[in-house]
Structure 1
Amino acid sequence: MYNAVLVPTDGSARSVAAARRAIDLAATYDATLYVLSVIDASDLGLWTAADIPVERVEASLRDAAEAAIDEVTSLAAAADVRCETAIRIGVPHREILDYTDEVGADIVVMATHGRTGLEHAILGSTTERIVRLSEVPVLTVHE
């Protein structure tokens, strides 16, 4: 049923819960798990001051992305699940959708933050955008 399972991660407890579900799916169907971490391009602008080199900020964000991926790959290895990883810089929902197409994912497994009301209206939701725009099924996991 599934040959390629994609799980985006930001290292949060919610994304680790989603990763556990994705690993279970991949193990059940003997699928490859694709783990993606997206460095939000807007974060580079928010944290860059005239006296802090962009490269240092980007390196810090990349280190966080690598740590998030490492956590998921460790869980996948413990479950004997094949795993491929990637880090992208850009607009998160666009990068996730592009990567979904690139790897031929059959399903995307994502965490939901459970935002409601004004917070949801102002901040929006990457998961909601993926649910609306993805051409493949999206499984949302609430921690």
Structure 2
Amino acid sequence: MQEEGFKKILFPTDFSVASDYALSYAVSMVKRFRAKLFLLHVIDSTYDVSGFYIPHISTEKLQQEMEDSAEDMLKKMSGKIPRSITARESAVKTGIPHKAIIKFAKDKGIDMIIMGTHGKAGVDHFFFGSTTERVLKQADCPVLTIRPPKDMLVKRRA
């Protein structure tokens, strides 16, 4: 980190309630440090789209549609950011989420990562782990995690 503060802040999003809630914190930090904001969505490559059969749609077309949809959602998210924040960049990558986030941060020289967390525990966490937790452990820069209030998180029914 430079003496004058954070200059490049990464906000990875999965478009969840937790990410949406954390966006305001990222915006506050970007304003505070007059930093450049990087929005990133990672399409999880561990989900193999070739296993899905949809007549008349190739796996390449399905992948492209996923990327296009993610880019549209990033544009909508960008619309929630004040126009006064002009230094911003958005990207969609495909890969293993925590690895893609860390690689993006290294490639762009990110000073800080701000991300939402779902706070999952139990079986979900044991089998799948937490992208946020893995980023926390492996990132070369500070990571600020934001968890929304419990009443904002919808519990899944068994």
**Distance across 1 between alignment mates of 2:97 and 2:40:** 10
Instruction: Mark the CA change 1:79 to 1:29 in structure 2 (over 3 Å): closer, same or farther.
Output: farther
**Distance across 1 between alignment mates of 2:97 and 2:35:** 24
Task: Please point out which of 71, 74, 95 is paired with 1:66.
Answer: 71
**Distance across 2 between alignment mates of 1:126 and 1:7:** 13
The answer to whether the 8 Å contact 1:108/1:138 transfers is yes
1:18 aligns with 2:22: yes
TM-score (norm 1): 0.90
Q: How far 1:102 moved relative to its partner?
A: 1.1
Aligned residues: 142
Q: Paired residue for 1:99?
A: 104
CA offsets, 1:13-53, max 9 Å, x none? 21111222111100111100001111111224365327441
TM-score (norm 2): 0.82
AA matched with 2:71: E
The answer to whether the 8 Å contact 2:49/2:62 transfers is no
**Distance across 1 between alignment mates of 2:19 and 2:98:** 15
Q: How far 1:94 moved relative to its partner?
A: 0.7
1:124 aligns with 2:129: yes
**Distance across 2 between alignment mates of 1:17 and 1:31:** 20
Where in structure 1 are there 5+ consecutive unaligned residues?
Answer: none
The answer to whether the 8 Å contact 2:50/2:59 transfers is no
The answer to whether the 8 Å contact 1:44/1:54 transfers is no
SS class of match (1:80): coil
**Distance across 1 between alignment mates of 2:80 and 2:51:** 31
SS class of match (2:80): helix
Q: Paired residue for 2:145?
A: 140
SS class of match (2:79): helix
Q: Paired residue for 1:36?
A: 40
Task: Please point out which of 4, 29, 33 is paired with 2:8.
Answer: 4
Q: Paired residue for 1:108?
A: 113
Where in structure 2 are there 5+ consecutive unaligned residues?
Answer: 149-158
